[in-house]
Homo-oligomer: A and B are copies of this chain.
Amino acid sequence: MPGLPAPQQNHLLAALSVEAQNRLFPHLELVSLPLGKVLYESGDSLRHVYFPTNAIVSLLYVMESGASAEISVVGKDGLIGIALFMGGESTPSRGVVQSAGYAYRLLGQRLKDEFNRHGELLQLMLRYTQALITQMAQTAVCNRHHSIDQQLCRWLLLSIDRLPDNQLTMTQELIANMLGVRREGVTEAAGKLQKLGVIEYNRGHITVLDRPRLEQLSCECYAVVKKETDRLLPYVFPRLNR
């Protein structure tokens, strides 16, 4: 086990200048994010923004029927709580921890102070937001046009990109919630991938064995978002993937 995570494990925090880091880091608070924890509910007024290190958080939209769909994934590559600096304070989405780990959080007011005093953070946040928008939009398209098989591949890639190794702890039931499909649909798709030797799974633990193959089997949506993110934040993610 490594010791406590460093703020720089978050790519956005790491991308700040030394001066900005010196101003902000004293105000960061390390928090543990257990699986399933809800960081905010639809409409909640946010108090903090969260910069994950090794945790993953899903932004979920929940329908009146209770059905839900994940519109984006945030890990060490980003932050949760853009509504705070976008000015809206809240959003209609829910933030749920998809993979347990740690994050650093910062009071919204501190963030805004830094914003107004120095443009650097603002520029970074805006660029990140644009990357996030791309992910959301591509998700919308993906939901419309691609099969569960393809979407599962895309989802697995998004997840392991944000984790330290090729393994993730996640039941098929939870994945189904994220993708907005039936659990049985995920079972079938995952079964196919296991038969192909692309992944291996067992009661809530999934290991990706053949990443290149996974990328081939995925729809284009993964690559589109990745390319755009690399373009928008090149120095932030020199190599998001291993």
Contact = CB atoms under 8 A, between A and B. Distances in A.
The bracket for how many chain A residues form the interface is 35 or more
Interface in A16-70: 59, 61, 63-65, 67-69
A85 B141 contact: no
Contacts of A200: none
A86 interface: yes
B136 A232 contact: no
Contact of A91 (B61, B130, B143): B130
A93 B141 CA distance: 11
Interface in A121-138: 123, 126-127, 129-134, 136-138
Given A87-B232, A145-B63, A231-B88, A69 B140 contact: yes
Contact of A139 (B85, B140, B180): B140
A88 B136 contact: no
A150 B141 CA distance: 18
A164 interface: no
A180 B71 contact: no
Interface string A204-227: 000000000000000010001000
A126 B220 contact: no
A129 B232 contact: no
Contact of A145 (B69, B72, B126, B131): B69
Contact of A126 (B86, B119, B138, B231): B86
Contacts of A59: 137
B86 A127 contact: yes
A196 interface: no
Interface in A70-107: 71-72, 82-83, 85-88, 91-93
Nearest to A227: B92
A71 B129 contact: no
Interface of A: 59, 61, 63-65, 67-69, 71-72, 82-83, 85-88, 91-93, 116, 119, 123, 126-127, 129-134, 136-141, 143-145, 180, 220, 224, 228, 231-232
15 contacts: A61-B138, A63-B145, A63-B220, A64-B220, A69-B141, A82-B130, A86-B133, A87-B130, A88-B131, A91-B134, A91-B228, A93-B137, A136-B137, A137-B140, A140-B140
